[in-house]
Structure 1
Amino acid sequence: MSATILITGASSGIGRETASYYAKQGWTVYALARSADKLAELAAENPAQIIPISLDLTDLAAMQAWQRSLPATVHFDVVLLNAGNCEYVEAKDLDLAAFERTFAINFQAVVASTKLFLPKLHAGNTLAIVSSMAHFFPFTRSEAYGASKAAVSYFTESLRVDLADTGIKVCLIEPGFIDTPLTQKNDFSMPFLMPVAVAAKRIFEGINAGKIRLRFPRRLGYLLRILSLLPYGIRTKLAARMKQS
């Protein structure tokens, strides 16, 4: 019997590439996302391995109904909660709806998915959750996105503590800039931009190795960690200067 993974946000970007990578390694992939068309295209690449599931992760009732429809015998070796979005905001006129949308998919959907799919994991299986390096440093216009990812990282770390006695492994994934349709919308320089295929391989290998935290590109991770150690006033001035450049 092949190993099985469930991946959310599988219709594009990191989720799509990772779903494809796992399928090529012989895994059965439950690929979840809203876009039925994009999921169909993904499944067509490897129809024997990929099971497309069109669901809105912010629709709790629909998620619950699908979870209940799964046979009791179905369990996942890995659940990868990857779905997310980025909306930039203006500090002088904060878009409250943008905050609601961002937290709905980036954080609340992660919590809901954890609740629904945790029963489908056994001791030795892995729950992997994708956050971001964005919360390491105060980037301009990132109040909604960065805050949502900070919440995801803290949730994941705390969850690992409370699941320690279950044998379920919890992996926190914090990517930097990855070349995806999401980052291709950015109009600023993205240091150490990583090809999405490399990111998918890092995720596969890291989870397989039992890592509890993955950060890539490593050079960006090192840089942001160093910046985070600067005195608070200096860090704030540097962030403001970066905004103006």
Structure 2
Amino acid sequence: MAKICLITGASSGMGKATALRYANNGWQVYAVARSTDKLAELAAQNANIKPVSLDVTDSVALASWAAALPAGQKIDVAILNAGTCEYVDADDLDLAAFERTFAVNVQGVVCCTRYLLPLLNTGSHPTLAIVSSMSHFFPFTRAEAYGASKAAVAYFADSLRVDLADTDINVCLIEPGFIDTPLTRKNDFEMPFLMAPEKAASRIFDGINAGKSRLRFPRRLSFVLKALGLLPYGLRNKLAKKMKQQ
């Protein structure tokens, strides 16, 4: 029997590439996103993909979908990838932008976790993978909403792993750098070590299969940001300010 993977944010970018990577390797894939049209296009590329039109912030719809699954249906890998990014201005913080960003990036992850945990195929070492970002490693300009939401998600994943330590569920925290997606294409700044979504999908597929609890890629960007994080706090702040002015 084919293993089952569920991926949110599967209609484009890294989520779409990951859905195809799993499907092309013989997995049955529940591809979750809001866009019915894009999901239909994705499903047409591989018969192993089952489109699921859902908003990850809609707890009622998520609960209904989970309850409607065939009796005994279990998920081997769940990848909570859906996310959004909005930049804000410190002198006029857009509260609605914070609400939208946290609704998807944080509350959406919590909501999916709530309804997917009981569906994980315990007994076969299932994985719950949560996508954060390297953005929370360093204070970038105008990233107050996005970076803070990804920091919250990373803490949530690490804390959840502790509380699930007595089960066989692997909680995998995924912290990508810049991936070439519709979201990043809106950026008007240089994105070092930009990675193709297909390559990111390969890292995710291989890392989860290897039972990793944390995935960071591209590695070069990870090394740079971790090194910056080791700087004295005052020096790090000065460097962040200088980067903003460039």
Does TM, scored on the shorter chain, surpass 0.5? yes
Deviation digits for residues 71-103 of structure 1, max 9, x if unmatched? 231101100000000000000000000000000
SS in structure 2 at match of 1:179: coil
Unaligned runs of 5+ in 2: none
Determine whether 1:187 maps to 2:196. no
Separation of aligned partners in 1, 2:58 and 2:112: 11
Deviation digits for residues 204-233 of structure 1, max 9, x if unmatched? 000000000000000000000000110111
Q: Which amino acid aligns with 1:213?
A: R
Q: % of aligned pairs identical?
A: 69
Partner of residue 106, structure 1: 105
Give the structure-2-normalised TM-score: 0.98
Q: Which amino acid aligns with 1:117?
A: L
Separation of aligned partners in 2, 1:212 and 1:57: 23
Q: Which amino acid aligns with 1:39?
A: L
Runs of 4+ in 1 over 4 A off after TM superposition: none
Deviation digits for residues 139-186 of structure 1, max 9, x if unmatched? 000000000000000000000010011111110000000111111110
Partner of residue 13, structure 1: 13
Shift of 1:199: 0.2
Partner of residue 234, structure 2: 233
Deviation digits for residues 34-54 of structure 1, max 9, x if unmatched? 0000000000001x2000000
CA RMSD between the two structures: 0.6
Q: Which amino acid aligns with 1:161?
A: V
Q: Which amino acid aligns with 2:135?
A: A
User: Which range moved further: 78-87 or 62-71?
Assistant: 62-71
Query: In the TM superposition, what are the counterparts of 1:1-245 in structure 2 within 5 Å?
Result: 1-46=1-46, 48-121=47-120, 122-123=122-123, 124-245=125-246
Separation of aligned partners in 2, 1:2 and 1:70: 16
The count of aligned residue pairs is 244
Separation of aligned partners in 2, 1:233 and 1:169: 37
Separation of aligned partners in 1, 2:64 and 2:28: 21
SS in structure 1 at match of 2:107: helix
Separation of aligned partners in 1, 2:12 and 2:58: 19
Q: Which amino acid aligns with 1:195?
A: A
SS in structure 2 at match of 1:10: coil
Give the structure-1-normalised TM-score: 0.99
Shift of 1:195: 0.9
SS in structure 1 at match of 2:44: helix
Separation of aligned partners in 2, 1:63 and 1:125: 20
